[in-house]
């Protein structure tokens, strides 16, 4: 017998003996099967894979997201483990808070890496996407929900509202790069849109809730909704985010004068910006999502050439990636949980919405803007839907029972999966072609170094 065969038999015999040894260790109480400890082990392994896998598939970020969802689906389906029930009160709140945390981290990261000054005309294109494309997508999405899925008006409006925001979590391949590295028109537009329209989806979600509660439209609640949920909460969110971002930047970069806080290089300061801006805005009735993005952007603009911005960006990016990996695996589990309720009309809705509704509406609304030709087509196509939609749906259903929770959850999950497939496999090649076609290259670093106090 050859040496290779002998080694093979040796390893095979040892593998056969493993279950016996494990069983004996369990009987002797040397192995614990405490669910808490096994859950901790599973989370740790997930985090290891979350850090390791992107290094292997570095140019396939969306593909990685899809792999996480698929892995979660197979794991929860095979082991018959159920994720938190999205139809129960506790399950809805768990999904709401879990997805909320991922979204606000990604909004923080988006605000910290945008180089474009607030006076730039590039923001006009973002404005078109926010104030024209988004409402029109809600309107058409609601109409499709009524005609294709048979939803009542309030539920159809809710579906259009929760699918309205583009997702900052799954869009790393189409967003701007780290601070001072890459900021072309297409990436800036997609990044700024994702950073701002997550907050702007709130008024339309409240609109659907009020519509369901009141049984239709009437002038009394419409007036209250407009001044309170639209004007007041958006205004407070923006102003609170701007002021808190500026104040925190002053404390970090200027106090104490002898050795400012940023000189210590603590990336955890990003968490301070996140918690204070979000909770501060929510405490006074504003939209925390909008406040986080504006605060991060204001913080960055205060000292936009400082090396410390890179430290904050890297800390935020790593935290976002790890948390998002866990959430995507649980989304796969949620897909397994909802599998019996899924239907073909949900898939048709998702295909029409992702491949036709957003691209056509955006392309038409961007006519005459600063983006033209292939750039306009790319911006129009990459209307990525993701974890933000999960948050808004969980939030709405936790505040009012629309009576069609299974229908709504199933449709939203199918839309996210279709978006992950359609945008995931096309993002890298399309953006690579864009860079070659228009000659986009990373500009030379604009970071200042002024002595030992600069990081």
pLDDT tens-digit readout, 248-278: 999 988 887 777 877 777 888 889 999 999 9
Question: What is the model's pLDDT at position 284?
Answer: 94
Question: What is the model's pLDDT at position 449?
Answer: 38
The closest alpha carbon to 300, from 166, 116, 453, belongs to 116
CA–CA–CA angle 332, 336, 337 (5° rounding): 115
pLDDT tens-digit readout, 16-30: 444 444 455 544 545
SS3 labels along 202-259: HHHHHHHHHHHHHCCCCHHHHHHHHHHHHHHHHHHHHHHHHHHHHHHHHHHHHCCCCC
Question: What is the model's pLDDT at position 365?
Answer: 95
Question: What is the model's pLDDT at position 241?
Answer: 96
Question: What is the model's pLDDT at position 22?
Answer: 44
SS3 labels along 287-312: CHHHHHHHHHHHHHHHCCCCCHHHHH
Share above pLDDT 90 across residues of the chain, in percent, rounded to a whole number: 48
Q: Which two three-digit tokens encode residue 248?
A: 């925190």
Could you give the CA distance from residue 318 to residue 314 in angstroms, rounded to a whole number? 6
The closest alpha carbon to 60, from 322, 305, 421, belongs to 421
Q: Of residues 221 and 23, which shows the higher confidence score?
A: 221
Question: What is the model's pLDDT at position 118?
Answer: 87
pLDDT tens-digit readout, 40-87: 776 676 666 656 666 665 555 556 778 888 888 888 887 777 788 898
Query: What angle do helix axes 358-365 and 373-381 make, rounded to 10 degrees?
Result: 140
Q: Which two three-digit tokens encode residue 129?
A: 């996407």
This prediction has a pTM of 0.85
CATH 3.40.50.720 fits 44-438, yes or no: no
CA distances for 296 relative to 68, 105, 156, angstroms? 28, 10, 34
Question: What is the model's pLDDT at position 437?
Answer: 83
Could you give the CA distance from residue 98 to residue 83 in angstroms, rounded to a whole number? 12
* Other CB atoms within 10 Å distance of the CB of residue 22: 12
Could you give the CA distance from residue 201 to residue 288 in angstroms, rounded to a whole number? 12
Question: What is the model's pLDDT at position 355?
Answer: 96
Position 121 confidence tier, pLDDT thresholds 50, 70, 90: confident
Question: What is the model's pLDDT at position 276?
Answer: 94
pLDDT tens-digit readout, 368-410: 888 888 999 999 999 999 899 999 999 999 999 898 999 999 9
For residues 150-169, give the mean pLDDT: 93
For residues 285-306, give the mean pLDDT: 92
Question: What is the model's pLDDT at position 42?
Answer: 65
* Other CB atoms within 10 Å distance of the CB of residue 32: 9
């Amino acid at each position: 017998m050859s040496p290779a065969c002998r080694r093979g038999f040796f390893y095979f015999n040892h593998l056969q003996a493993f279950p016996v040894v494990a069983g004996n260790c369990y009987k002797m109480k040397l192995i614990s099967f405490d669910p808490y400890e096994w859950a901790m082990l599973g989370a740790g392994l997930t985090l290891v894979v979350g850090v390791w896998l992107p290094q292997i598939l570095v140019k396939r970020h969306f593909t990685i997201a899809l792999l996480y969802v698929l892995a979660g689906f197979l794991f929860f389906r095979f082991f018959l483990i159920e994720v938190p029930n999205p139809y129960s009160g506790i399950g809805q709140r768990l999904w709401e808070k879990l997805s909320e945390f991922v979204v606000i981290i990604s909004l923080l990261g988006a605000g910290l890496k945008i180089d474009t000054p607030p006076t730039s005309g590039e923001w006009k294109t973002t404005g078109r996407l926010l104030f024209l494309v988004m409402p029109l997508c809600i309107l058409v999405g609601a109409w499709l929900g009524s005609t294709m899925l048979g939803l009542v008006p309030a539920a159809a409006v809710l579906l259009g509202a929760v699918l309205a925001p583009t997702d900052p979590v799954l869009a790393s391949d189409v967003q701007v790069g780290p601070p001072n590295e890459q900021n072309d028109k297409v990436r800036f537009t997609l990044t700024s849109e994702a950073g701002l329209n997550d907050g702007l989806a709130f008024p339309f979600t409240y609109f659907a809730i009020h519509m369901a509660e009141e049984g239709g439209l009437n002038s009394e609640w419409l007036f209250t909704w407009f001044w309170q949920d639209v004007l007041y909460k958006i205004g407070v969110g923006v102003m609170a985010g701007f002021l808190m971002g500026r104040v925190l930047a002053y404390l970090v970069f200027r106090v104490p004068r002898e050795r400012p806080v940023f000189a210590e290089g603590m990336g955890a300061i990003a968490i301070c910006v996140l918690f204070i801006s979000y909770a501060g805005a929510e405490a006074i009735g504003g939209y925390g999502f909008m406040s986080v993005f504006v605060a991060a952007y204001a913080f960055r603009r205060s000292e936009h050439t400082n090396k410390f911005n890179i430290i904050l960006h890297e800390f935020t990016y790593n935290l976002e990636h790890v948390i998002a990996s866990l959430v995507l695996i649980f989304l796969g589990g949620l897909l397994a949980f909802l599998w019996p309720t899924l239907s073909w009309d949900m898939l048709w809705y998702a295909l029409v919405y992702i491949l036709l509704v957003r691209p056509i509406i955006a392309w038409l609304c961007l006519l005459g803007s600063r983006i033209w030709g292939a750039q306009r087509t790319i911006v129009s196509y990459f209307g990525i839907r993701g974890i933000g939609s999960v948050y808004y749906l969980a939030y709405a259903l936790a505040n009012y029972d629309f009576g069609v929770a299974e229908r709504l959850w199933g449709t939203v999950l199918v839309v996210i999966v279709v978006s992950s497939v359609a945008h995931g496999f096309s993002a890298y090649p399309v953006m690579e072609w864009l860079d070659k076609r228009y000659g986009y290259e990373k500009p030379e670093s604009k970071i200042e170094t002024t002595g030992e106090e600069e990081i």
